[in-house]
A and B are shown apart, each in its own frame.
Chain A
Amino acid sequence: MTEAAGLLDPHLTVGTAPAGREKLGLRGVSRHFGAVHALDRIDASIPEGAFVTLIGPSGCGKSTLFNILAGLLEPDPGGSVALDGMVVPPGGLLGRVAFMPQRDLLLPWRSVLDNAILAAEVQGQPKKEARALAREMARDFGLAGFEDHFPQQLSGGMRQRVALMRTFLFDRDVMLLDEPFGALDALTRSLMQRWLLDIWSRYRRTIVFITHDIDEAIFLADRVLVMGARPGRIRMDRAIDLPRPRAAALITAPEFTAIKRELLEVLEEESLKTFQAGQR
């Protein structure tokens, strides 16, 4: 077992999250790309219904880890991913988790509604049925009245909401969000964060959320996983027991800043390693 594994015994991390059974489990997940060692024996357990954020310096392998969780990459032999307690065979995660990449990747030839139902359509759900469902959901996603617009007619925040709606409509228990708000301005971002929490509390899915914004990581999460510099491993697993629902002012509260300081220390150390590696 690695030093990282010592830090994070999943059975000890009990936050405000529904301390349900494990939804997603990573056991000794490593990944090499040729000579590059991207991930090193990652262990993590994500309980059902939890909101977990993943933060780390750039190049720490966050995206590699995400691609593994989405089923797009396989871990090196020896490691495994378990969904609902069952180890998943190669390629077995494809179509089982709702993955939202960094860019919205909306298709310009499809209307808002048709973009939102893309995943459902691929899964074989009849278009008509999926559209009806999407029409109902549009209000929750702040898209009422825009159902028949095309992506190029929308603002950045709206496009992101369409992409999120697509992810929610892909009715899977686990959602992987890769820096969904990375390209938005600070104000829109803060609005979207609260809105996402609201949506999450209503639809109750297990969410794994990548970010490189510490405030965002703490504000959203039941748990924050801090990843270390390459080869990526988990350096810290911090339960966030701040009460919900959370208001915007929370990020200036002393208990928030205390957590932030704690995370910053670890992150700083890891970022420095990457930085110094570049100076050698």
Chain B
Amino acid sequence: MTAALRGLAGGLILLLGWEAAVRLFAIPPWILPAPSGILATTWTARAGLLPAAGMTLAEATGGYAIGAVLGILLAILLSQAAMLRRVLLPVVVIINSVPVAAYAPLALLWFGTGATSKVIMVAFIVGFTVFLNALDGLTRVDPAGIALLRSFGAGRLSILWRLRLPSALPAIAVGLRVSTVRAMIVAIVTEMLGSQLGLGWTIFEAVLQIDFLRVWAAILVASVMSLAFFGAITLLERRVVFWK
């Protein structure tokens, strides 16, 4: 409890110090607006921010769901095929080592500036993250445990269902948790490059109009959404992986 209080205190000190510094040194808003100013702008610009936030959230969660399902399924498939895994895994790692940002322009050219390109980009990054984590979890199972189940006469599917999948759950959960923030970031980055609606687009527009308070307001909204998404998945993780 005291830990939570200290964290809260730390946050408050940061905000107050920020506010005080801006007022004391009369920092112009285009360099650093005060928290109060950001909050005020968020409120006054809500009519524009809300639909943008809704769009971004829809793209991020939609792509997240698709990517998570595909990633887990692919990992299960490859966990059962050792040969294929040995050939494909390095390829996947190399493709994944290119920063997603580099693929974003491609997605925009191929799938246009609508929501599709964002959903695909999010699904792509989430899919990779979840896939790599899940595969690691599925293949890093205690061999003694597998031997035990085999001695009980268990077959492949039984071992997958009773041992591999539950043992991999913590790793899968980590992948899912990390992916929440990535999903939001990728949706926003892709929107910045080209879209008609979304927080990324709002930020891009505001930068062009030199309206930095609106940039900060959009960042605030995006951060709150990221945090909520992250928190929701973390809560779910605690329930599912109760033994950790």
Q: Which residues of A contact B (CB under 8 A)?
A: 67, 70-72, 94-99, 101-103, 105, 107-109, 118-119, 121-123, 150, 152, 170
Residues A109 and B166 in contact, CB atoms below 8 Å apart: yes
In the complex, chain B residues whose CB is within 8 Å of the CB of A121: 162
Q: Which residues of B contact A99 (CB under 8 A)?
A: 148, 151-152
A94, A95, A122: residue with the most chain B Cβ atoms closer than 10 Å: A122
B150 touches A72 (CB 8 A): yes
Could you tell me if B166 and A107 are in contact, using CB atoms closer than 8 angstroms?
yes
Once the chains bind, are B152 and A101 in contact (CB under 8 Å)?
Answer: no
Among B18-26, B51-59, B62-70, B139-147, which stretch is in contact with chain A? Answer: B139-147
Determine how close the nearest CB of chain B comes to the CB of A168; give it in whole angstroms. Answer: 13
The total of Cβ contacts below 8 Å across the A-B interface reads: 56
Give the CA-CA distance A101 to B148 in the complex, in Å: 7
B158, A122: Cβ atoms closer than 8 Å: yes
Q: Are B243 and A95 in contact (CB under 8 A)?
A: no
| B149 is an interface residue with CB less than 8 A from chain A | yes
A107 in contact with B151 given A101-B144, A122-B158, A152-B243 (CB within 8 Å): no
A71 to chain B: which residues have CB within 8 Å?
Answer: 150-151
Residue B10 interfacial (CB < 8 Å):
no
Residue of B with least CB distance to A99: B151
Contact of B149 among A97, A108, A122 (CB under 8 A): A122
Distance A99 CA – B153 CA, assembled complex (angstroms): 11
Query: In this complex, which of B148, B150, B158 has the most chain A Cβ atoms within 10 angstroms of its Cβ?
Result: B148
Interchain CB contact (< 8 A) of A97 among B151, B162, B242, B243? B151
Q: Are A123 and B145 in contact (CB under 8 A)?
A: no
A-B contact pairs, 17 of them (CB 8 A): A70-B151, A94-B153, A95-B153, A99-B151, A101-B148, A105-B144, A105-B145, A107-B162, A107-B163, A108-B243, A108-B244, A109-B242, A118-B162, A119-B152, A122-B153, A122-B154, A122-B158
Give the residues in chain A near B158, CB-CB below 8 Å. 122
- On chain A, the residues within 8 Å of B163 by CB distance are 107
Q: Tell me the complex Cα distance, A150–B243, Å.
A: 8
B151 engages A94 (CB within 8 Å)? yes
Q: Which residue of A lies closest to B154 (CB)?
A: A122
Tell me, rounded to whole Å, the shortest Cβ–Cβ distance linking B161 to chain A. Answer: 10
Compute how far the CA of A176 lies from the CA of B187 in the bound complex, rounded to whole angstroms. Answer: 56
Chain A residues lying within 8 Å of B148, measured Cβ to Cβ, are 99, 101, 105
Q: How far is the CA of A98 from the CA of B144 in the complex (A)?
A: 15
B112-151 Cβ-contact flags toward A at 8 Å (1 or 0):
0000000000000000000000000000001011011111
In the A-B complex, the 3 residue pairs with the closest CB atoms = A95-B153, A108-B243, A99-B151
Q: Which of B162, B166, B169, B242 contacts A122 (CB 8 A)?
A: B162
A123 cross-chain contacts in B, Cβ below 8 A: 152-153
Of the candidates B152, B166, B243, the one whose C-beta lies within 8 Å of that of A170 is B152
Give the residues in chain A near B169, CB-CB below 8 Å: 109
Bound CA–CA A108/B169 (angstroms): 12
Q: Which residue of A lies closest to B242 (CB)?
A: A109
- 19 extra interface residue pairs, beta carbon distance < 8 Å, beyond A97-B151, A108-B243: A67-B147, A72-B147, A94-B151, A94-B153, A95-B154, A99-B151, A101-B144, A101-B148, A107-B145, A107-B163, A107-B166, A108-B244, A109-B166, A109-B169, A109-B243, A119-B152, A122-B149, A122-B153, A170-B152
Q: Which residue of B lies closest to A102 (CB)?
A: B144
Tell me the minimal C-beta distance from B242 to chain A in angstroms: 8
Q: Which residues of A contact B147 (CB under 8 A)?
A: 67, 70, 72, 101
Q: How far is the CB of A186 from chain B (nearest CB, A)?
A: 25
**What's the minimum C-beta distance from A148 to chain B, rounded to whole angstroms?**
13
Contacts of B142 in A (CB 8 A): 105
Chain A residue with the shortest CB-CB distance to B153: A95
- The interface residues of chain B lying within 8 Å CB-to-CB of A95 are 151-154
Q: Using Cβ atoms and an 8 Å threshold, which residues of chain A touch B152?
A: 95, 99, 118-119, 122-123, 170
B244 contact set on A, CB distance < 8 A: 108
Nearest chain B residue, comparing its CB with the CB of A93: B151
Q: How far is the CA of A43 from the CA of B193 in the complex (A)?
A: 75
Q: Name which residue of chain B comes closest to A100, CB basis.
A: B148
* CB of B142, distance to nearest CB on chain A (Å): 7
Q: Which residues of B contact A150 (CB under 8 A)?
A: 243
For the complex, give the distance between the alpha carbons of A193 and B204 in Å.
73
Residues of B within 8 A of A94 (CB): 150-151, 153
Contacts of A118 in B (CB 8 A): 149, 152, 162
Mask, B210-244, CB within 8 Å of A = 1, is 00000000000000000000000000000000111
